[in-house]
Amino acid sequence: MNKEDRMLSAILRDKFRLCEKRCSPVWTDFLTPAEAAEAEDICRGLCAGTDVGWSLEGGWEDAERRICLFRPKDRWGDVGTAPEDQGGASAGCPDSGSADDLPICVLRINVPKGSPRLTHRDYLGSLLGLGIERAVTGDIFVREDGADAVVLSDMADYLAQNLISVGRASVSCEVLDISQLITGVQQTKEIRDTVASLRLDSICASAFRTARGKAQDAIKAGLVSVNGRQCLKPDTELKEGDRISCRGKGRAVLAEVGGRTRKDRITIKLNQIS
């Protein structure tokens, strides 16, 4: 276990014990996809056979950034039953919590008509410019008329009052219930290709249109995750349904693995997500 994993484990154990002591909900800041994947393993062990349940919550089913929420199991009746074999609700499970029970909400950022087009980076940069840590905010969804940011409820009013501009545009903000989150439609691009093998470096090269050598470098540098977990081995074998992300390049799903061509290459279909 590396230093980052030990720190995460310590944080989760502290939150678990606090929930047990107070008999009330306790939660972390937003976790990265890799941290959330690690938290699942830790929480299964922590909460097994105890009176504490857990869930990973990001405001919508496919959230990348999520908080880890601990709650006394006698409260699960209000928000859905936690699976017994996990000690908590599965990440992304619609029954894992109700909007009224979650310590996250929507910061809706409204941009006047005629303003310059703003990007995800613009919104995130302006939020961080208010002096907050990245872990205060979850996913951010950009639209032509503004954006919805998932944020911790106890920071929402501060952000709404102090975020008055994004880039060169003046903005106004309102705090809404998490059930009013507008995620928009994820854009997917279908890629059909052939690869010599289902190794991670081969799939990354195909998914992100780069040379295999550069894909290997990105993997070894820790920039690539598979199903939310950082993967440092270029020769890792992937399977149909695996989700790959590469920092700075985007995300993709290995949607289909077909047969072999006459040249003994494997046909694949990838869905690149933007």
Q: At which residue do the structure tokens 């950082």 appear?
A: 230
Q: How many CB atoms lie within 10 A of CB 213?
A: 11
What are the extents of the domains in the chain?
3-97, 104-180, 188-273
pLDDT band at 9 (very low <50, low <70, confident <90, very high): very high
Residue 96, pLDDT score? 41
Residue 100, pLDDT score? 52
Task: Please state, rounded to an integer, the average pLDDT across all residues of the chain.
Answer: 88
What is the mean pLDDT of the segment spanning 35-52?
92
Please provide the CATH number assigned to the domain covering 188-273. Answer: 3.10.290.10
Residue 131, pLDDT score? 97
Q: Rounded to 5 degrees, what are φ and ψ at 47?
A: -95, -10
Residue 1, pLDDT score? 66
pLDDT over 60 (residue 92): no
Residue 248, pLDDT score? 81
Q: Rounded to 5 degrees, what are φ and ψ at 150?
A: -85, 125
Domain 104-180 in CATH 3.30.450.20: no
Distance in angstroms (rounded) separating the CA atoms of residues 107 and 181: 9
Distance in angstroms (rounded) separating the CA atoms of residues 180 and 175: 10
pTM to 2 decimals?
0.73
What SS3 state is found at 232? coil
The tens digit of pLDDT for each residue in 196-205 reads: 999 999 999 9
Q: Which long-range contacts (CB under 8 A, 24 or more apart) does 159-164 make?
A: 159/107, 159/127, 159/130, 159/132, 160/107, 162/130, 163/107, 163/109, 163/126, 163/127, 163/130
With beta carbons less than 8 A apart as the criterion, state whether 175 and 156 touch.
yes
Which among 32, 41, 49, 34 has a CA at the least distance from the CA of 12? Answer: 41
Sheet of strand 104-110: strand arrangement: 137-143, 146-152, 104-110, 172-176
Domain 3-97 in CATH 3.30.200: no
More reliable by pLDDT, 175 or 88? 175
Q: How many CB atoms lie within 10 A of CB 165?
A: 10
Sheet of strand 67-72: strand arrangement: 26-27, 67-72, 52-57
Whether 188-273 and 104-180 are alike in CATH topology: the answer is no
pLDDT band at 184 (very low <50, low <70, confident <90, very high): confident
What SS3 state is found at 200? helix
pLDDT over 90 (residue 82): no
Which among 64, 62, 67, 49 has a CA at the least distance from the CA of 12? Answer: 67
The tens digit of pLDDT for each residue in 120-150 reads: 999 999 999 999 999 999 999 999 899 999 9
With a pLDDT cut of 70, the percent of the chain lying above it is 89
Residue 93, pLDDT score? 34
What is the mean pLDDT of the segment spanning 58-86?
70
